[in-house]
Amino acid sequence: MKSRIWWLGVAGVIGVVLILTGWKLIARPYTFQGSVIDPPAPVVDFRLTDQHGGTFHLSDEKGKVVLIYFGYTNCPDECPTTMAIFKQVKDELGSQADKARFMLITVDPERDNSQTLGTYLAKFDPTFIGLSGSPSDLAPVWKEFGVFVEKSPVDNAGNYEMDHSTFVYVIDKDGNLRLTYAYGVEKDAILSDVRYLVGE
């Protein structure tokens, strides 16, 4: 009787191991938190000027996961909020942070030159990439990502705001647009997706 019970116990343990092993083999694929671009869309290479005055080519970032936000340094709310989220994501990536790039492309080239972008991004993380250029340089990039840009009327003091799209765009290591996030997305959602893409 004891022998039978012992064998039943062994069989039970083996059964649990097989179930767990099988579960790993049939585990569900990763579910992205952002809006998925399916199929992934190759992004046309572009050339702009970074905050150090150097020439930036998107194609040079292949092998990295790139997060892009279109905004401007005089933005009162969405832009600094998004940059703060970028900083949190980068910090929590830890040792994987060097496999991701965080980028702000201006929608206000009239005011956002290299120096302005550099000063602004240094408040968040000096490794963030700030890109500007002439309106004719930037317009094709805005169009490539479907970004809405419109200058508001200038007030008596010469001030104005820029109405613009507030999505975050994620490009994978192969240079394909994979995900977008609407403004207000939780930091943990972006962090989870970036970790997955970095490890692909």
Mean pLDDT, 10 residues at a time, the chain of 200 residues: 51 48 63 96 97 97 98 97 98 96 98 98 98 97 97 93 97 98 96 96
Burial of 96 (0-12, 13-18, 19+ CB in 10 A): middle
* Total residues found in the chain within this entry: 200
Closest CA to 198 of 32, 65, 58, 29: 65
> What is the token pair recorded at 106?
């201006």
Global pTM?
A: 0.85
Closest CA to 149 of 117, 177, 186, 110: 110
**What separation in angstroms does the CA of 95 have from each of 16, 49, 53, 90, 198?**
35, 28, 28, 10, 11
In degrees, to the nearest 5, what angle opens at C-alpha 159 toward C-alphas 157 and 165?
A: 165
**Would you state the pLDDT for residue 179?**
98
